[in-house]
Amino acid sequence: MSRRLIPNPPPASVPGIQKRLFSQIARIKASLNYNEAIGKDLGIIGTHDTVEHPIPEYSLTVELGANGPCVRIDFNKYRHEGIWIESRINGGEWDFLGVDTVKPYLNERPLAPGNTDETREYRLRWWDKSVAHGECTGIQKAVLGL
């Protein structure tokens, strides 16, 4: 029995395959064309969350944006299409900021003229089929300053 050698063996794989694989899965799931059927076909849908989530869960982080301080809102949509975001500044009136379907949401509104710092409060609701619904979350605050 003769042994044949492969003339050009494949290169060794680069370390970090798990990180690259998870990044690819995240890009696939963030695609506008992605849906549950595609996820099932590809085998990238994790265990199904059966816990009822009456309100969104979210966290705030103040970070430096392109034009100064901004607030980063990380959230989990669970099985909802998106979240409805409202905010108020220094205890003023609640304003609608937007609907977000892909996390994170960056609130990069500039500080009000003349303000050296301000307190921004946020609350979220579920958003499905172009309608905000459910109760608002508890209020979370972020303090921004120059």
d(CA 95, CA 117): 19
Residues in contact with 71: Cβ distance below 8 Å, sequence separation at least 6, in sequence order: 60, 61, 62, 106, 107, 120, 122, 142, 144
Q: Residue by residue, what is the 3-state secondary structure of 59-71? A: EEEEEEECCEEEE
- Averaged pLDDT score across all residues of the chain: 88
Residue 52 belongs to some domain of the structure: no
Q: For position 48, what pLDDT does the model report?
A: 65
The share of the chain scoring above pLDDT 90, in percent, equals 48
**3-state class (DSSP) for residue 101:** coil
Do 32 and 70 fall into the same domain? no
110: domain CATH number is 2.60.40.10
Q: What's the pTM? A: 0.66
Residue 61 and residue 40 in one domain: no
Q: What confidence score (pLDDT) does residue 114 get?
A: 77
92 and 35 inside one domain: no
Name the band, by pLDDT with cuts 50, 70 and 90, for residue 68: confident
For residues 35 and 100, state if they share a domain.
no
Q: Is residue 89 part of a domain?
A: yes
Residues of the domain holding 94: 57-145
Assign 1 a pLDDT band (cuts: 50, 70, 90). Answer: low
Domain count, the chain: 2
